Amino acid sequence: MSNLKEIRTRISSVTSTKKITSAMKMVSAAKFKKAQNNLIKFRPFNEQVLNLVSSISSDKILQGVPYVGFRKEIREVAILLVTSNNSMCGAFNANISKMAMQVYADAKRQHPKAHIQFYCLGKKGEDIVRRAKLPYESFSHSFIDKPSVVSTRTIFEKFFGMYCSGRLDRVFVVYNKFRNAASQDQISETLLPIIIAKPTDSKLILNKPIVEPNPLELLNRLLPYYLLNKLHSAVLESSAAEHGARMTAMHQATENASALLSNLVLDYNKARQAAITNEILEIVSGANALKS
């Protein structure tokens, strides 16, 4: 009977776990849909800004922009690590934190005299950096729960101000890029100084816009806005990837709980049948003993 009681306890426990993971899956699905819509709406606008910057940029024009081009001496490096505030999203936080540590190691090897500091957006990344005993500073963790341009601007203005004043020489952004609900790409990008890719689309090259009074004046106004968009895009990508990863993890956990529950019910029925059979055997054996 003790074995039957054990199995009943496990069945009750697994049933409760299944209800929790199923509820979390539905909550994550709703949040994922909202985050995905925000990302889909933002992507075309961000791509147009990127195309405009790429099409009017040239090596001659960029020489007049102070935050384009690497500085000769790198003394201060910042790594913005974007993670989640909560767990139960598979390897989402572990994978991006592993890449951030790789970025830190590479920067340390390339610039041995530089001071490298983490800036954490998300509690999980902060916990990992703290355990590694590396220098870090945290932004408000509410920024990642409800992404908005206003909150991203706070982060951008801090980095941009420190870079323009010479207190930072290079800024990396490490985040999960949304691919689909089941997978994410770990991305490391240089936010500052600005690295502008040359346009590869033939339409953009042929239809180069005419800028008045001059492209440099437009770039000086446009590039900070371009950086803000780039940073906000990283936050939105990470948010959509997080909810997708949690929804997938909870879906798998619910399926595993269902499979485990089926096995436990089968084991319980087998044990109960065995107990009934033993009781019948004992009764028959007792009756035979009385006859003899």
Q: 192-222: per-residue pLDDT in tens?
A: 887 766 655 555 444 666 666 677 777 777 7
Token pair of 46 as six digits = 């961000």
pLDDT in tens, 9-52: 888 999 999 999 999 999 988 988 888 888 888 878 777 777 77
Sign of CA dihedral 29, 31, 35, 37: positive
Write down the domain spans for the chain. Answer: 2-25+249-291, 26-245
Q: Which CATH class is domain 26-245?
A: alpha beta
Q: Which CATH class is domain 2-25+249-291?
A: mainly alpha
How far is the C-alpha of 183 from the C-alpha of 265, rounded, in Å? 34
Token pair of 7 as six digits = 């199995």
pLDDT in tens, 146-199: 888 889 999 999 998 898 888 898 999 999 998 888 888 899 998 888 776 665
Q: What is the DSSP letter of 208?
A: P
